[in-house]
């Protein structure tokens, strides 16, 4: 095999019809991976970028595409046998990844590459790769490396098991009568009639899937229903995930200790923008101090309001009633009822609106691919082309990526909202591919218009921000720096930056038209929504502080004495004024504990950068090309070929400051 050939075009695994075929597909990919490593080894004497880094990067590309696509199948394939096989095969791919990360021959070959003639992106890639080898323990003795390898493999097994338990755990709430739906929107009540057969025939049954959960928590007048839904949701995958989580935390602790770190949190920040867990703690303490008083004030205002509303005896509002009372408060104080905006957000219009906004923002063109094979009939496929002021016809016709939209819930499918890179782009050799896995209303085809809440609409754009990062950043020379391969704690910048766009009345009015009469959403309604939405920001930041602290503390305290329940309650009470609800087992379904591990801080840290970035865009013309083009060029296109701090400096001409974030908090506090 020559190293200049592109990796063979990957046949997508979802076109395969059986678990056997899937296993063969993985075996073939792992064989190609092994051949590339052999080629790399045979050139170790005269290592160069082309003879050594290229086969290394191709080996990484094969593993990445294989692992990402298997992971997708594990999350979305309608056939449980295929999901099971994908999960088992993921384990094999992860093993190959762990072995590669501890392979001393590869490390030495990469170290021997003379970097004199390398461009800065390649130099950064090499330096970062060598650092990750050292952090993985490549220079330890054989026994230690064997132990590290076994621990890493065990961590993968446990993480996969944890995720799968969450994916397959759907709680149900059986209603006592239709009266319990009081307060919920008309379209919700119409589409949730009593079951006609089965165990609960004659009863209305709700599930913990997002399209049921979110409206119940926001609108249901019945405190009993809200509480049952809250607990059903917070107890998903409990108790199944307790043992895997505890073991995972112990495994991570041992890995960190073997590598000379005190805790996993220290290891996990060593190659991040944050640099250390001490910096993380300081960052969190500052946010804590900045939001404590205002969050208490918000809470007291809502409690006072609830008492005025006839709940005189109410001593406190608990976590299961927080969204409901917040909504009631916003209706009264800001004349804003979030049900009023839903009719303007039927799913199909939102999808068209997001796609068209992103096309204009990043000067790209999306074309539906009618004949593409996917894993489910509801999935749509799109090709991405360059657009805008391209004089060169060839450039206009160049396809730069492909994406898949899998947007509605179904049995056995992952319950969350995410963007999944599938194939890393390599300039001139393979185009990047990615998918959105979401759970929005509207996929049932039974006449439900799929009316979204505004928060759903911003979630859609958030995930699309990840997707575009994968595609526009996927035109780099190396798979290892392609797309979202920045430091992990830069990843939520492009997604959160885009969320801000959907507070703009003009942008929303382009697509948010009433599902019955076609009227565009009134600017005054959007302005009221924004004012109402600003109330509760301190609370939202402190909710993130709670998640962040829990993810940090679970990875910092000693696993032998860690009490998951006690810590959860302590961290909750430390940050949130809404009363703790006994029986909350959030950790059992908190998948970020396996993915982000101790680094959940990424969301808050990146929010600071995202708001700083957003300020560069002109408030009266968010789509002004001078800024959008610069943003695409300086932030998204480099992918992981530059350190995050350089991306920030390139776009802002300075380091980030918390000023925009502080102003954002301050706006919320203005009476």
Binding footprint of Zn ion on the chain (CB under 5 A) = 495
Find all residues with CB under 8 Å of 4, minimum gap 6, and list them.
Answer: 50, 54
Q: Give the residue with the Cβ less far from Zn ion, 85 or 495.
A: 495
- CB 611, min distance to Zn ion, A: 15
Closer Cβ to Zn ion, 47 or 214, answer by number:
214
Is the CB of 175 or the CB of 438 nearer to Zn ion?
438
CA distance 596 to 101: 19
Q: Which of 524, 523, 511 is nearest to 347 (CA)?
A: 511
CB half-sphere exposure, 445, CA atoms < 13 A: 4
Residue 266 vs 463, nearer CB to Zn ion: 463
CB of 492 to Zn ion, least distance (A): 5
- Minimum CB distance to Zn ion, residue 608 (Å): 15
Complex with Zn ion: residue 222 or 495, whichever CB lies closer: 495
Complex with Zn ion: residue 113 or 491, whichever CB lies closer: 491
In the bound state with Zn ion, the residue whose beta carbon lies nearer, of 291 and 495, is 495
Closest approach, Cβ 495 to Zn ion, in A, equals: 4
> For residue 172, how many other CB atoms are within 10 A of its CB?
15
Residue keyed to tokens 């996927």 = 474
Q: How far apart, in Å, are the Cα atoms of 559 and each of 32, 254, 263, 361, 440?
A: 40, 10, 10, 47, 37
Smallest distance, Zn ion to C-beta of residue 603, A = 8
- Choose between 157 and 495: whose C-beta lies nearer to Zn ion: 495
Alpha helix ranges (H) inside 500-587 = 505-509, 523-534, 537-554, 564-575
Cα separation of the two ends of the chain: 68
Closer residue to Zn ion in complex, CB, 319/636? 636
**461 with 498: CB under 8 angstroms?**
yes
Q: What share of the chain is helix, strand, coil (3-state, %, to 5)?
A: 60, 5, 35
Q: Distances from the Cα of 423 to the Cαs of 550, 637, 663, in angstroms?
A: 33, 16, 39
User: What stretches of 558-637 show up as alpha helix (H) in DSSP?
Assistant: 564-575, 592-595, 602-614, 625-631
Nearer to Zn ion (CB atom), residue 148 or residue 419: 419
Contact of 494 with 139, CB cutoff 8 Å: no
CA nearest to 151, candidates 296, 284, 220, 249:
249
Compare residues 76 and 110 and give the one whose CB is closer to Zn ion.
76
User: Do 34 and 93 contact (CB within 8 A), yes or no?
Assistant: no
Q: From the CB of 606, what's the least distance to Zn ion, in Å?
A: 9
Q: Which two tokens stand for residue 450?
A: 């799929």
- If DSSP codes are grouped into helix, strand and coil, which group holds residue 173? strand
CA–CA gap between residue 432 and residue 452 (Å, rounded)? 29
What's the closest the beta carbon of residue 466 comes to Zn ion, in angstroms?
6
What is the edge-to-edge ordering of all strands in the sheet holding 380-386?
364-368, 380-386, 399-406, 433-437, 418-423
Hey, which bits of 234-371 come out as E strands?
Answer: 364-368
Q: How far is the CB of 96 from Zn ion (least distance, A)?
A: 27
Least distance from Zn ion to the Cβ atom of residue 493, Å:
10
Residue with smaller CB distance to Zn ion, 486 or 495: 495
CB-based closest residue to Zn ion: 495
The token pair that represents 527 in the structure block: 């302005």
Minimum Å distance from CB 462 to Zn ion?
6
Across the chain, how many H-helices and E-strands are there?
Answer: 27, 7
Rounded to whole angstroms, the maximal C-alpha distance in the chain is 81
Residue 210 beta carbon to Zn ion: minimum distance, rounded to whole angstroms = 15
Q: How far is the CB of 404 from Zn ion (least distance, A)?
A: 18
Q: List the one residue out of 467, 436, 519 whose CA is nearest residue 358.
A: 467
Minimum distance of Zn ion from residue 264's CB (angstroms): 22
Other CB atoms within a 10 A radius of the CB of residue 582 amount to 9
Looking at beta carbons only, is 595 or 643 nearer to Zn ion?
595
Q: How many other CB atoms sit within 10 Å of the CB of residue 505?
A: 17
CB-based contacts of 198, cutoff 8 Å, min separation 6: none
């Amino acid at each position: 095999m020559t190293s200049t050939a592109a990796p063979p075009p990957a046949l997508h695994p979802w076109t395969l019809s059986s678990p056997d075929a899937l296993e063969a597909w993985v075996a073939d990919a792992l064989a190609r991976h092994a051949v590339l490593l052999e080629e790399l080894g045979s050139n170790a004497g005269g290592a160069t970028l082309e003879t050594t880094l290229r086969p290394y990067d191709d080996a990484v590309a094969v593993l990445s595409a294989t692992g990402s696509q298997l992971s997708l199948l594990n999350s979305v394939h309608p056939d449980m046998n295929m999901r099971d096989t994908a999960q088992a095969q993921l384990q094999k791919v992860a093993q190959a990844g762990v072995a590669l990360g501890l392979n001393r021959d590869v490390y030495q070959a990469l170290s021997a590459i003379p970097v004199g003639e390398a461009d800065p992106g390649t130099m950064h890639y090499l330096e970062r790769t060598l650092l990750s080898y050292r952090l993985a323990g490549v220079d330890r003795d054989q026994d230690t490396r064997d132990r590290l390898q076994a621990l890493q493999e065990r961590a993968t097994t446990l993480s996969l098991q944890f995720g799968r338990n969450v994916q397959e755990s759907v709680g149900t709430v059986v209603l006592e009568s239709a009266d319990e739906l009081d307060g919920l929107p008309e379209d919700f009540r119409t589409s949730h009639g009593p079951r006609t057969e089965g165990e609960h025939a004659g009863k209305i049954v709700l599930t913990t899937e997002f399209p049921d959960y979110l409206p119940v928590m926001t609108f249901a007048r019945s405190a009993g229903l809200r509480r049952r839904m809250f607990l059903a949701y917070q107890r998903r995958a409990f108790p199944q995930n307790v043992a895997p989580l505890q073991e995972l935390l112990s495994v991570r602790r041992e890995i960190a200790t073997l590598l000379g770190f005190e805790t996993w949190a220290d290891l996990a920040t060593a190659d991040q923008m944050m640099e250390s867990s001490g910096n993380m703690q300081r960052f969190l303490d500052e946010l804590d101090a900045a939001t404590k008083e205002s969050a208490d004030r918000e809470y007291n205002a809502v409690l006072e309001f609830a008492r005025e509303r006839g709940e005189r005896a109410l001593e406190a509002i608990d976590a299961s009633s927080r969204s409901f009372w917040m909504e009631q408060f916003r209706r009264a104080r800001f004349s804003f009822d979030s049900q009023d905006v839903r009719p303007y957000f039927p799913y199909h219009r939102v999808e068209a609106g997001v796609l068209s906004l992103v096309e204009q923002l990043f000067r790209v063109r999306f074309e539906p691919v009618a004949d593409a094979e996917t894993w489910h009939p509801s999935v749509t496929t799109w090709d991405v082309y360059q657009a805008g002021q391209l004089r060169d016809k060839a450039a206009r016709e160049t396809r730069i990526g492909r994406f898949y939209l899998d947007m509605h819930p179904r049995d056995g499918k992952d319950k969350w909202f995410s963007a999944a890179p599938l194939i890393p782009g390599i300039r001139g050799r393979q185009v990047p591919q990615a998918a959105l896995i979401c759970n929005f209303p509207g996929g049932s085809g039974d006449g439900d218009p799929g009316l979204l809440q505004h928060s759903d609409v911003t979630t859609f754009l958030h995930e699309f921000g990840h997707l575009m990062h994968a595609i526009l950043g996927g035109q780099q020379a190396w798979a290892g720096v392609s797309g979202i391969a920045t430091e992990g704690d830069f990843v939520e910048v492009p997604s959160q930056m885009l969320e801000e766009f959907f507070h703009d009345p003009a942008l929303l009015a382009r697509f948010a038209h009433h599902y019955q009469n076609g009227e565009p959403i009134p600017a005054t309604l959007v302005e009221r929504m924004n004012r109402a939405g600003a109330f509760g920001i301190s609370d939202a930041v402190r909710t993130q502080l709670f998640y962040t602290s829990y993810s940090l503390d679970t990875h910092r305290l000693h696993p032998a004495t860690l009490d998951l329940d006690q810590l959860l309650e302590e961290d909750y009470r430390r940050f949130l004024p809404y009363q703790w609800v006994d029986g909350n087992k959030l950790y059992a379904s908190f998948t970020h504990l396996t993915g982000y591990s101790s680094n959940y801080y990424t969301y808050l840290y990146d929010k600071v950068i995202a708001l700083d970035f957003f300020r560069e865009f002109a408030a009266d013309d968010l789509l002004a090309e001078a800024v959008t083009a610069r943003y695409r060029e300086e932030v998204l296109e480099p992918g992981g070929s530059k350190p995050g701090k350089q991306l920030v400096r390139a776009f802002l001409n300075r380091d980030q400051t918390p000023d925009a974030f502080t102003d954002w908090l301050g706006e919320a506090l203005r009476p």
